[in-house]
Amino acid sequence: MATRRPGTMRERPAGSGRWQLRAYVGPDPTTGRPIQVAKSFSGGERAAAKELAKMVADIEAGRFDASRATVSDLLDRWLEQITPTRSPLTVVEYRRKIEGRIRPALGDTRLSKLGADTLDAWYGKWQASGLSDSTVHHLHSILSAALTQAEKWGWIYSSPARRASPPAQRSPVFVIPTPEQLIELVRTAQEIDPVLGTAVALAALTGARRGELCALRWSDVDLERGTIRIARSLGIVDGVIHEGPTKTHANRDVALDDLGIEVLRDRWAYMQDLSRRAESPLVADPFVLSYDAHGGNPTDPNVITRRFGALCRKLESQARTKAKKAGRDLKADERWPFRFHDLRHFSVTILIGAGVDVRTVAERHGHAQATMTLNRYAHALPERDREAAGVLGRALTPD
């Protein structure tokens, strides 16, 4: 049987003099998974090795006490625990916020001394420094998840995050294209970039996220049934494309209407034609969105974002030139301030506004809970509310 190393040390980044020290405590009594204590240390390599040796000696002598653990210890252990089950992009984002804000503020604080008042004080400081309520709330969510895990491990009795008062998350106000603008987006994109044209059409018709669309293969498409299966997502970490599960770790089948089927039939015909002209046979299971003639490589989601942004700037420039020739300024509804993700918002808003029940909309778009859909897209409900008022009024009006 291989012997487990009692401790490891790693300089992050190389040459910085900042070390990540880890020492093995033992197996978790419930899951059997290894428990490690992590500690940040600043200094030379010899001093770091000495500190690591002290950590290992304390553990071997039975002097480790989880109640002495710091917020940094917990965050390191929590990140290690969640990494296998989260997308690389999600973990990178967590690390960025932990290293940028949470660790500098709270890293040296012992968990046994961390109270809700301390958390609230830092929430206020972060807001005062210019962070948005949404960003501060996300920092709270990271702390809350880690502290809840500490509670499960028995490191603390009760999570102080549960008693803290983070800023409320306000429902965002979405700026989405009108149906007329969407038609123009698809038409222009198809003319200058067929991959982008297909991506724009599918994002609006299915509400799929950009990473989900870039991961779509032709084996996920059933044109006879008129469905696509959303089963994976692509993300970029350190410039490398990674394929992983969807955001909610759940697969979903999304129905297509006649237009959606037509978009995909046209895309398949285009790919076959390009493959023949380039004398590059299609691979066994090509990606739907690929700039390669053989379809074997997926499109970088960031490329979709950049090209969509350029498309919107092009259309706004054309609208501005037209308005200038007419001797007037550009009107608000003539602007094109859209992000690719706004096509997903377009899809949800149109369906809710048309009276499709929220649960169906949530399932179609891969939302974890229908309540989230309802909270985020409440702006799409006023017209339905007016219709409901009319129904009640007619019910109470005598014949």
- Note the pLDDT of residue 397: 56
Same domain membership, residue 327 and residue 186: yes
241, part of any domain: yes
313: nearest Cα among 342, 337, 343 = 337
pLDDT, residue 86, reads 80
306-343: b or e for each residue (b if 16 or more CB lie within 10 Å)? Answer: ebbeebbeebbeebeeeeeeeeeeeeeeeebebbbebb
Which two three-digit tokens encode residue 322? 């037209």
| 106 found inside a domain | yes
Strands 18-27 and 34-42: antiparallel
CATH of the domain at 249: 1.10.443.10
Of 212, 221, 310, 210, residue with least CA distance to 266: 221
Q: Is residue 4 part of a domain?
A: no
Number of domains in the chain: 2
In whole angstroms, how far apart are CA 45 and each of 14, 38, 40, 104, 220? Answer: 11, 17, 13, 22, 51
pLDDT for the residue numbered 2? 43
Q: What is the pLDDT of residue 28?
A: 55
CATH number at residue 133: 1.10.150.130
**Closest listed residue to residue 296, CA positions, set 277, 314, 275, 276:** 275
- Based on the fold, state whether residues 304 and 389 are members of the same structural domain: yes
Residue-by-residue pLDDT tens, the chain, 399 positions: 344 557 788 887 778 888 878 777 666 555 566 666 667 778 889 998 888 888 787 766 655 556 578 999 899 989 988 888 887 778 888 999 999 999 999 999 999 889 999 999 999 999 999 998 989 999 999 999 999 998 887 788 789 999 999 998 776 677 889 889 999 999 999 999 999 999 999 999 999 999 999 999 999 999 999 999 999 998 877 777 888 888 777 899 999 999 999 999 999 999 999 999 999 999 999 999 999 999 999 999 999 999 999 999 999 999 999 989 989 998 888 899 999 999 998 888 888 877 888 888 888 888 877 777 777 776 655 555 555 555 555 555 555
Range of the structural domain that residue 372 is part of: 175-399
Q: How far apart are CA 310 and CA 316, in angstroms?
A: 10
Q: Of 146, 170, 194, which one is at a domain's C-terminal end? A: 170
Same domain, 313 and 236: yes
Considering the domain boundaries, does residue 375 fall inside one? Answer: yes
Domain identity same for 363 and 275? yes
Q: Are residues 246 and 357 in the same domain?
A: yes
Residue 34 lies in a domain: no
The answer to whether residue 44 sits within a structural domain is no
Q: Are 242 and 385 part of one and the same domain?
A: yes
Distances (CA, A) of 363 to 99, 117, 181, 356, 366: 35, 39, 26, 12, 5
Considering 170, 199, 224, which residue would you say is the last residue of a domain?
170
Is there a single domain that holds both residue 231 and residue 127? no
Residue 154 sits in the same domain as residue 184: no
In this prediction, residue 248 carries a pLDDT of: 75
215: part of which helix (H) or strand (E)?
A: none
| Structure confidence at residue 250 (pLDDT) | 83
Residue count (the chain): 399
Q: How far is CA 259 from CA 212, 255, 286, in A?
A: 20, 11, 22
Q: 238 and 158: one domain?
A: no
Same domain as 163, residue 115 = yes
Q: Note whether 112 and 207 are same-domain residues.
A: no
Last residue of a domain, one of 148, 170, 192: 170
For residue 37, tell me if it sits in a domain: no
Report the pLDDT value the prediction gives residue 21, as an integer from 0 to 100: 82
Considering the entire predicted model, what is its pTM? 0.70
186 and 166 share one domain:
no
The H or E element that residue 156 is part of is: none
Would residue 3 count as lying in a domain? Answer: no
